[in-house]
Structure 1
Amino acid sequence: MKLLAIDDNHDNLLTLGALLKIFLPEASLITSQSAQDGIRRARMEGPDAILLDIQMPGMDGFEATRRLKSIPSTQHIPVILVTAHRSDSACRVKGLECGADAFLSKPIDEAELVAQIKAMVRIKRSEDALRRERDSLEALVARRTGELLLANRELKENLERLAQSEARYSRAVRGTSDGLWDWDLKSGDFYYSPRWKELLGFADDELFNEADTFFSRLHPDEVARVQDALDAHFSGRSSFDLELRLRTREEVYLKVRCRGQAEWNTEGEAVRLSGAITDITERQQMEEQLRQSQKMEAVGQLAGGVAHDFNNVLTVIAGYANILKMDLPDDSQHLELVEQIAVASERAAQLTRGLLAFSRKQAMAPQQTDVGEIVRRVEQFLVRVIGEDIQLKTELLPERLPVFVDLGQIEQVLINLAANARDAMPRGGTFTIATGLQEAGAGGAQAVIIVSDTGKGMDEETRNRIFEPFFTTKEVGKGTGLGMAIVYGIIQQHKGSIRVSSTPGYGTTFTIELPLLTVETSLGQDQVAPFEPPSGTETILVAEDDPSVRNLVEMVLTKHGYQVILADDGQEVVERFALHQNGIGLVLMDIIMPRKNGIDAFDEIRKVRPDAKVLFTSGYTADFIQSRGMQEGVELIMKPVQPSELLRRVREVLER
């Protein structure tokens, strides 16, 4: 055993060492002559017991005991206080209060010394063993508690994952458009999800979960085919995937796709079959929509090709008609004939714009105009759309309703609404277009176009879906389902709105609202005074691959004083510009030409002379032009173009 003796008297330490050698030879004695050093030695050596003198300078035995008992590494070491006062009870009480474990009185009795030391060491070792056992148990409990907490956490996480998985499955079952089913081939138990029953028009509790629910609702012609497919699937020869007809609550047959997958046991016997049914009505509708979309794309491609050639022809017709009109005296008998040619060419141009708007290949070209003027322009065309057995009525406000719109697109809106009204009045009726004005709040105002018919009207479901793409109430082959969607899209592009009101048997009314321009802006820009076509003396390089258009442009320009150099294609215009670059004031060329298009030709011209001016012309559709690299901000005039408009634009570009 190891003992620590703390006493400021060296002789007392020597006496104690001599006694221990005689009466307790197995003890090893460590000595210290001050309380501070004794505490340090106790922390370093960890003795089995400490003999501590009470009377010492600096720090007495009581304070040293208190400090030893407050230090974790020494608080369990027995402290035996050594006192010279054998019967001083106050001293003993104070020692016990400080944490002393036993007392020895001087002079030290050898038997009492040995007994006290042995008792304290025995008690300490027992306590140490108990503490080790307690620490071991605490560590074991802590470890087991940690393991249980970890297992509990893992269990909770597993339960949460299971709950989430079940919730996801439940949501998937409830939310999927498919009807799920499961068939235990051993027990014969069947399960149908609520959606399975809903597809057939039943609530969840209205159909039994049994095999007969499926087989009794199969179309009689499908029963044998289903049985053959099941036998083939159970034998592993093919998948189970069929298009079937199932009888609904309304006693009509719903066409569904029925898919299933079997499970086999170790003997290769099918024990379970699970799958789903899908209503393929929507898929068939999508396929029909795709076919209609492809038709529309074909119409668009055809419109683009027709527009280019037709616009060139119209440019020539309208151009020469206007030249004749300008040359004829006011009292000429031919003036009215020429006027009719010009009016007819303008109508043909409107027809081309309508075709392009219908195929969505006409870029927006907004201008300031009057709503009443739009109706008057399209009125004669609408008569042909609705037919002679339907009366067309217009009720237009006398005052102007100036708006900023694409004239062709708004005309197309009225044409589409007229076509719908015609179909709603197969036995004739009245088609009315009225204009109006209404306040829009915050001091604003809106121009209103009200289009109504006396046809068969619409129910609520049709009204709610009337503007959906591909939605149509017409028979297959008699409607694209795009007309009203195009109407809605055009009005939205113009920052307007459109509403529909209808009652079955009492006709339909569409109300279109368009932002109204201020009177000052409208009157200042909408009324253009007649002007004499501007003339000039500059040299203009004209590039046009159509000979008729090229000859017309040359005639118009030379007639008004310009010098003209002609080129047949894009490559030739580059070569001609290189020869006459310093004398050319403007390049007037088509965008789409053989050998080199106008965009590429102008890029090369700019390399020769960076400040060269150009005015492009084109009769192609907007998307076709943009695909050739046409950039915003480039001067462009679309065919067909009137000579006066051409001269005006040429003058504008030259003077910039």
Structure 2
Amino acid sequence: MHSVRARLLVAFACIMVAALVLAFVGWRGLTDTESALEELRREILPDISHSLELAERTASLASLAPFVAEASSPSQLQHDRERLQQRVQQLKQLAGRIRHLESAPQLRQLLERLYGTLDELIALTQQELFQREDLRQLLYRLEALDGDVALPAVDQLLAAASATRRELERIEHRFSTRTDVNSKLAASATPIFALRHRQLDLKQRQSYLLASVRATSDQLSAEVKGFVDSLQQRFSQQQQALSATVNKGQVRILTISLLALLALMSGTALVLNLTRNLKAVTGLMTRLAAGVTEQATPAVQRRDEIGSLARAFNVFRENSRELQSMTEDLRQQQRLLQTVFDNINDGLSVFDRDQRLLAWNPRYLSIFGLPPERVHRGVSLASLQTLMSKAPHGNRTLDNRPLDMTETNLQRPSQPIRFERYYRDGRVIEFRSQPMPDGGFVTLYSDLTDRKAIESQLRQAQKMEVLGQLTGGIAHDFNNLLAAVIGNLQLLGQQRDLSDKAGRYGQRALAAAERGASLVQRLLAFSRKQLLHPEPQSLNGIIEGMLDLVEYSVGSQIEIRTRLEAAEDRVFVDPGQLENALLNLALNSGAAMPDGGTLCFNTRLERDPQHGDRVLVEVGDTGHGIPEELLERVFDPFFTTKEVGRGSGLGLSMVYGFVKQSGGDIAIDSEPGRGTRVSIRLPLYQGPDQSADDGRATPLTYGEGEQVLLVEDDGLVLEAVEEMLAELGYEPLSCRSAEEALALLEEGQPDLVLSDINLGTGLTGIQLRAKIRERWPDLPCVLASGLPREQLDSRYHLPADAPVLAKPYRLETLAQALSNALNRA
């Protein structure tokens, strides 16, 4: 929603909705408050009023009870009864108007008890009046008796009519002991005493009922007070709920008011922003009308009507700027095109439909060596090609077929043409012609000499990589064969009953096998996979130390010269491999000078800010040289220019591998009849000195009957190493897989485990070593392999702390490795 109109409508809609919601919430709050007040007025307050009135009427009813009990005549009793019943009826009606009387069941029970007590009191009072009337009639008859009745006895009976219970019992006792009582008086005395007793019983019951009425009234008052308290508590709860409702309504009203205020502020800010941006755009238009174009446009990023207006203004202003700067841009483009035309690395020429020159750049002249005074506008293509033909060359297509230039010149105005021109000095020029719409053609001329050289180097490196992979792949199997051969030959040499002649044969075979092992190392050097031991070395010292060997190797007819200028400069290389490389180069030079000549060794320091300082060693000769077409193949393995049987073709290829692995570069420069020069550049070593091994031979160490578990999948190697272990004084225990080895270890633990790394299918020797270290941490394990450590790292993830016995190994090497492992354990 980016429209200003939409945002304003939304803001006003929010304000309107907020107002409606505010009104609804206020109305709903007032309605809820009114309902709550109405409920209080309708239920709580009347119940409180009726309850208080009930208490008051109950007290009034209780105060009327004594008057009922003291009624002196039936008419008075009837009057008091009617009054009492009227008040009881009013009390019942009042109790019926109390809505929540069921919440106070004790109050209803007390009312029912009061009603019953009053009814019983009225009935007793009525009986008492009847008995009083009967007693009065008996007394009246007693007074009418004849004069022969003893007056004292009559007085006692008259006193008994109003006596208390104790006095009555005393009078009755005295009356019974009188002797002057006749039969009539005795007959009148019995009912009098009985009536008085019943009258006293009724009085006693009346007193009890009056006390019960007062007690019930007091209980009613207390119960009414409790009921009123509960109603007041409920009233308080209703009041709290009403206050909570009012507070909630206030919060809602406040929240909605804030939202409405926020919507109002947003709308106000939007209107202010709208007017401000409109004012800014209007000012820009006014300044643009005055001719001012360099000014920033506000609100361009807005996605509403203001932003659309600002962007439209931008387009209008840009059009105005373009109209003003078009002429200047055209002039600048013309200068730029001319600069590019004059300074591009490729030559360029434009010919019209009549094959006459229209335009060219300076590179066109320099790339073909054309004299500037002979090149001008309108010169023909044929004339220019005649000038170009002074330098011998050949034209070929991209697929290396010869090209007819006459036919090509006819095709260039009508179709794209691309071909290459090869000069005898090694230069390669590429022609790329494109026809033009109005006839003629334009041609770009690129010097491909450097690119061709780089492509050649890339192809050479690719061939080296493929052959290196092949060499590394066969190294393991070949080393296994050599391990079996060397081991058996050494065991043969240890036999005491061996004849001298057989001993010589064995030594020759052992020497040949060790030369084979050396050849494998040289092959691995070529494949850049041999394990080098680099040290800081002086090139001058290495060359001076091997001059006698070189003199002996190349023959006395060759003069050796040295120019060693790198006395203080060192390189970080394997000295043995460097000697081998230099000797290979010297032998190649000697073979190139069968009739004698000069062999030169030169060293010097080269300062190179781009590649770093390097030490240069050159091996040059004055031999017959190498033809140009063979130079790119001299580093290929098995390629040689020597006669069959006089060379393996691995010399230069292994030198190449050693130099590349040592971080250096190698180049060869040769010309038939003038000799060859090989240049090796190695990085200058600027680190600290490192102590080298003193090279002393390690004496042969024998075992003391320790049991060695041998794990080897190659049967020939297995048998040879078993006998070598026995020769060294160890007890061999053999198996052909890691799984078999683990089973044997479960049966009993040997003193040492010697395992090949590549065990065919199943677990590798490295995995076997890990399981042994996990299960039997104190059991030493020695690994052996015919692969270089770098390949073991990449293929099998060889741990850095794992010692590896390189195949093929001699008896002395095996003895030393086993002794070291047992001593470490």
Secondary structure class of the residue paired with 1:583: coil
Q: Is the 8 A contact 1:431 1:453 kept in 2?
A: yes
Name 2:292's counterpart in structure 1: 146
CA distance in 1, matches of 2:665, 2:451: 32
Cα offsets for 1:298-320 (capped at 9, x unmatched)? 43244234433332232233323
2:806 aligns with: 638
Preserved contact between residue 495 and residue 515 of structure 1 (Cα < 8 Å): no
Give the alignment partner of residue 742 of structure 2, picking from 566, 577, 585: 577
Q: Which residue in 2 is equivalent to 1:174?
A: 343
Work out whether residues 472 and 479 of structure 1, in 8 Å CA contact, stay in contact via their aligned partners in 2.
no
Q: Tell me which protein shows more helix as a share of its residues.
A: 2
Relative to its length, the structure with more strand (as a share) is 1
For 2:604 and 2:291, locate their aligned partners in 1 and report how far apart those are by CA, in whole Å.
81
For 1:409, give the aligned amino acid: Q
Report whether the alignment pairs 1:225 with 2:407: yes
2:700 paired with 1:532:
yes
Tell me which residue corresponds to 1:243: 419
Instruction: Report deviation, 1:642.
Output: 0.9
Q: 1:320 aligns with which of 484, 488, 497?
A: 488
Q: TM-score under structure 1 normalisation?
A: 0.56
Amino acid at match of 1:222: D
Question: Are residue 344 (structure 1) and residue 512 (structure 2) matched?
Answer: yes
| 1:590-644 deviation digits (Å, cap 9, x = unpaired) | 2223113434444555555566543222223555434413333322122221111
Distance 2:731 2:347 in 1: 78
State the distance in 2 between where 1:494 and 1:577 align: 41
Rounded to whole Å, the distance in 1 between the matches of 2:658 and 2:773 is: 38
Amino acid at match of 1:174: N
Which runs of no fewer than 5 residues in structure 1 stay unpaired?
1-135, 234-239, 265-269, 439-447, 459-470
**SS of the residue 1:349 aligns to:** helix
Q: Which residue of the partner structure matches residue 587 of structure 1?
A: 753
Residue 236 (structure 2) aligns with: none
Gaps in structure 2 of 5+ consecutive residues: 1-281, 296-316, 396-402, 606-614, 638-650
Larger Rg: 2
Distance of aligned partners of 1:453 and 1:543 in 2 relative to their CA distance in 1, 3 Å threshold: same
Question: What pairs up with 1:169-568 in 2 under 5 angstroms?
Answer: 170=339, 174-176=343-345, 178-185=346-353, 189-202=357-370, 207-209=375-377, 210-212=379-381, 215-216=385-386, 217=388, 222-230=404-412, 232-233=414-415, 240-245=416-421, 256-264=429-437, 270-271=438-439, 273-282=441-450, 284-328=452-496, 338-366=506-534, 390=558, 405-419=573-587, 421-422=589-590, 425=593, 427-431=595-599, 454-455=621-622, 475-476=630-631, 479-480=634-635, 521-522=691-692, 525-528=693-696, 530-568=698-736
Alpha-carbon distance between aligned partners in 2 of 1:191 and 1:585, rounded to the nearest angstrom: 89
Matches of 1:420 and 1:285, distance apart in 2: 25
Change (3 A) 1:548 1:431: farther
1:426 Cα deviation (Å)? 5.9
C-alpha contact (below 8 Å) 2:711/2:735 kept by paired residues: yes
User: Cα–Cα, structure 1 residues 450 and 168, in superposed 2: closer, same or farther, change >3 Å?
Assistant: same
CA offsets per residue over residues 511-566 of structure 1, 9 Å max, x none? 999979999945xx404255232424443332222222111111122233333232
Tell me which moved more, 352-361 or 418-427.
Answer: 418-427
**C-alpha distance in 1 between matches for 2:755 and 2:558:** 47
- Between 416-425 and 355-364, report the one with greater CA deviation: 416-425
Q: How many angstroms apart in 2 are the aligned matches of 1:160 and 1:413? A: 64
Q: Please state how far the C-alpha of 1:648 moved relative to its aligned partner.
A: 0.9
Q: 1:574: Cα distance to partner?
A: 2.7
Cα deviation for residue 412 of structure 1 reads 3.5
- Rounded Cα–Cα distance in structure 1 between residues aligned with 2:802 and 2:669: 44
Equivalent residue, structure 2, for 1:40: none
- 1: CA distance between counterparts of 2:294 and 2:328? 16
In structure 2, give the amino acid aligned to 1:617.
A
2:413·2:434 contact (CA, 8 Å) conserved in 1? no
Query: Partners of 2:431 and 2:696 in 1: how far apart?
Result: 69
What residue is the counterpart of 1:47 in the other structure? none
Distance 1:286 1:518, change over 3 A: closer
Instruction: Report the aligned-residue RMSD.
Output: 5.6
For the pair 1:618 / 2:785, whether they are aligned, the reply is: yes
Q: TM-score, normalised by structure 2?
A: 0.46
1:98-177 pair list within 5 angstroms: 144-147=290-293, 170=339, 174-176=343-345
* 8 Å CA contact retained: 1:243, 1:255: no
Q: Residue deviations 1:336-371, cap 9 Å, x none?
A: 554444433333322222222123232323479999
> Is the alpha carbon distance of 1:622 and 1:168 closer, same or farther for their aligned partners in structure 2, counting shifts above 3 Å?
farther
- The CA distance in 2 between the partners of 1:142 and 1:214, in whole Å, is 57
Instruction: State the SS of the aligned residue for 1:588.
Output: strand
Letter in structure 2 aligned against 1:594: G
Q: Secondary structure at the match of 1:526?
A: coil
Q: Distance in 1 between matches of 2:599 and 2:767?
A: 51
Identity %: 26
Letter in 2 for 1:181: S
Pair 505,144 (structure 1): closer, same or farther in 2 beyond 3 Å: same
Q: Name the CA distance, whole Å, in 2 between partners of 1:179 and 1:535.
A: 80
Q: The residue matched to 1:641 in structure 2 has which SS? A: coil
Q: CA offsets, 1:180-231, max 9 Å, x none?
A: 3333549955223322332223466663354425554477962333145336
Shift of 1:477: 6.4
Contact 1:262–1:274 (Cα < 8 Å) also in 2 = yes
Which of 485-494 and 614-623 deviates more?
485-494
Helix, strand or coil at the partner of 2:412:
helix
Cα distance in structure 2, aligned partners of 1:156 and 1:325 = 97
